[in-house]
Structure 1
Amino acid sequence: MDKEISFLNEEQKQFLIDYVKTKKLEAFNKIQTEASTGYAGFEGASSEDLQLLIDEWVLIDYIDNGFVDKNTPCECGRALRYQYIVRNNKSGQIKRLGINHFEEHISLKKHVVKKIKKEFDLIDKEVSEISERTRVKWSIENVIHYIPNDYKFSTDNINRQLDMGLALSAKQVNSLMKEVNQTILSDNKAAKTFTPENIDLFNYDEPKKISTVFSLTDTQKETIRDLYNRGVKSSRVICEMLIEDKIAPSNRYSTGKPKIFPNVCVFLEEIKGN
């Protein structure tokens, strides 16, 4: 990646280096979570949240030296440029590995290693795409023609990325377009619902917020609130932890998503709103 980003300033370079690290940790731990739980669909969950659900090895750090360095060897002694640092959730043991030795040193199954390598390759390609688009002066205005004033991006990273003059990848653009379209759609619905002719200005009271959470028990609500306050923000991860601790039933939809998921999402929105 060094040659591809050599024309960027130091802030931009560091952002992309951190981006790769974050995405690889999330990818490794998402695949491990799916292998551990037997279920998919953990998009949006942080690496830290996912680590709570993994039985064995989690990725806790990633180092790119920029060159093969004897000071960052694999467990077998081979000098590495890219070193992946994993921890066993049961024993606390830490190992430092090259990507080709996941199967040999921590006994990951071949199909899991193959999937991890594929995801890592996609992340590297995405960063190359961001770099190349930045080099040719890509502009978001040429792709998304209308963004509402004071639009709040789903992640601060997107905002930072644009502010520092970095382009977005096609994946990021697609995600952003969906968000913007949803925001516009929601605003239009709200505008149609609350129009001046529908409101008696002399007798109008703003609607009171009514709780829509009926099926969660007090124990479940207390546990969800505790997990949220401890930093677990993913609805899906919270559901899996409730099931694992036998606080919630394990009933699932055909997609594998827990049936308690919608109620957890609504309750989390209430927590955020308070």
Structure 2
Amino acid sequence: MDKDISFLNEEQKQFLNNYVKTKKLEAFNKIQTEASTGYAGFEHASSEDLQLMIDEWVLIDYIDNGFVDKNTPCECGRPLRYQYIVRNNKSGEVKRLGINHFEEHISLKNHVVKQIKKEFDLIEKEITEILERTSMNWVIENEIAYIPDDYKFNSTVNIKKQLDIGLALSARQVNHLRKEVNQKIFSKNKTIKTSTTEVSNIVLFNDEVSEMNFSVSSLTEIQKEKIMDLYNRGVKSPMVICELLIENKIAPSHRYATGKPRIFPHVCIFLENINGS
């Protein structure tokens, strides 16, 4: 982060450093997954989940020294401030690169590199926004008037810790939180037992919901076993699980007009049953 962070305490600095690292890993691997599968629908997948579907190079680590350091060079020998560590999923080879040498050293296509750089720029802009808001003593109450006492923050997003240590949220994070809080209130008022982590996926089906009778019984025993195996290995994203089932010929590749696999709702319900057991 090439920004003024002198007003932050050490915990806040470390949090933002980890945030940037996590977001860059997710962005790189999401774009690589989309390039590998030809499908853009992995917004809620973790970097670890995405790595399972990438045929070649995945981003496994990211270092920001704060200055150009000869101890963190690119493969070509050029000293770097920002070093990106990638691994080839087929050969296991590891390379350490500067962002401008993705094409030269690992043969990423030009349009893929451009998209990666674009996503990285958006991450840096979000950090700038968080810093500016924090310096102006931003408070969540000015953005979201009411958060239920029993609201459970999504632990994977880590917004609660960000607020607890005194860091502001970006506009993107506020919108994400507002959507989840509103859904919690709506669900409570309507006494609908719906998982807030899956509701954004479910509403995308629109009239497609009426086509199918969503139930666990719609899955074969082989599909259930594979889902359980992936779940126990730490793969929690239903979209990633669906794509892995399709890739391994365990599920048909039929999709809705939205691009979502038709097996997706069945996988969601199966995962809900696992989580609720």
| Corresponding residue for residue 164 of structure 1 | 165
Amino acid corresponding to residue 172 of structure 1 in structure 2: Q
Q: Which residue of 2 aligns with 1:52?
A: 52
Distance in 2 (CA, whole Å) between partners of 1:21 and 1:239 is 27
SS of alignment partner, residue 252 of structure 2: coil
The root-mean-square deviation of aligned C-alpha atoms, in Å, is 1.2
Percent identity of paired positions between Structure 1 and Structure 2: 79
For 1:231, which of 230, 234, 251 is the aligned residue? Answer: 234
Aligned residues: 255
| Paired residues of 1:82 and 1:98 also in contact (CA < 8 A) | yes
Q: Which has the larger radius of gyration?
A: 1
Aligned equivalent of 1:174: 175
Deviation at 1:2, TM superposition (A): 4.9
SS in 2 for 1:181: helix
Distance 1:246 1:108 in 2: 27
Using the alignment, how far apart are the partners of 2:63 and 2:276 within structure 1?
38
In 2, Cα distance between the equivalents of 1:159 and 1:166? Answer: 10
1:103 matched to 2:106? The reply is no
Shift of 1:128: 1.0
The residue aligned with 1:197 is none
**Counterpart amino acid of 1:166?**
L
**How far 1:222 moved relative to its partner?**
1.0
Aligned partner of 2:24 in structure 1 is 24
Deviation track 1:170-222 (CA, whole Å, cap 9, x = no partner) reads 0000010100111111011018xxxxxxxxxxxxxxxxxxx932210011011
The answer (yes or no) to whether the contact 1:21–1:61 under 8 Å persists in 2 is yes
Which residue identity is paired with 2:223?
Answer: Q
The range that moved more, 215-224 or 154-163, is 154-163
Residue 212 (str. 1) matches residue 188 (str. 2): no
SS at match of 1:32: helix
Task: Tell me if the contact between 2:50 and 2:240 (Cα under 8 Å) persists in the aligned partners.
Answer: yes
For residues 76 and 161 of structure 1, the distance between their equivalents in structure 2, rounded to whole angstroms, comes to: 38
Matched to 1:27, the amino acid is A
Match of 1:271 among 266, 269, 274: 274
**Which residue identity lines up with residue 271 of structure 2 in the other structure?**
L
In structure 1, the partner of 2:126 is 126
1:4 deviates by: 2.1
- 1:214 match: secondary structure: helix
Cross-structure match for 2:38? 38
Unpaired segments of 5 or more residues in structure 1?
192-210
Quote the Cα distance in structure 2 between the aligned partners of 1:138 and 1:179. Answer: 20
Amino acid in structure 2 at the alignment position of 1:59? L
How far apart are residue 153 of structure 1 and its match? 1.1
How far apart in 2 are the matches of 1:62 and 1:149? Answer: 37
Amino acid across the alignment from 1:96: R
Letter matched to residue 265 of structure 1: C
Is residue 260 from structure 1 mapped to residue 263 from structure 2 by the alignment?
A: yes
Shift of 1:3: 3.9
Query: Which residue identity is paired with 1:139?
Result: V
Equivalent AA in structure 2 for residue 24 of structure 1: K
The corresponding residue for 2:85 is 85
- Corresponding position of 1:201: none
Match of 1:14 in 2: 14
Instruction: Using the TM superposition, give the Cα deviation of residue 78 of structure 1 relative to its aligned residue in structure 2, in angstroms.
Output: 0.6
Q: Is 1:247 aligned to residue 250 of structure 2?
A: yes
Q: Structure 1 stretches (4+) deviating beyond 4 angstroms?
A: none
Partner Cα distance (1:245, 1:272) in 2: 24
Deviation string 1:43-65 (CA, Å, 9 cap, x unpaired) is 11110000000000000000000
What TM-score does the superposition give when structure 1 sets the normalisation length? 0.91
Deviations 1:134-154 (A, max 9, x none): 110000001100101121112
The CA distance in 2 between the partners of 1:58 and 1:37, in whole Å, is 14
Contact 2:3 2:128 in 1 (8 A): no
Check conservation: 1:239, 1:260, Cα contact below 8 A: yes
| Contact 1:5 1:13 survives alignment (8 Å) | yes
Residue type at the aligned position of 1:258: P
1:4, 1:128 within 8 Å by CA — same for their partners in 2? no
Query: What aligned pairs does 1:58-77 form with structure 2 within 5 A after superposition?
Result: 58-77=58-77
254-263 vs 13-22, greater mean Cα deviation: 254-263
- Give the Cα–Cα distance (whole angstroms) in 1 for the partners of residues 245 and 6 of structure 2: 47
Give 5+ residue unaligned stretches, structure 2: 193-213
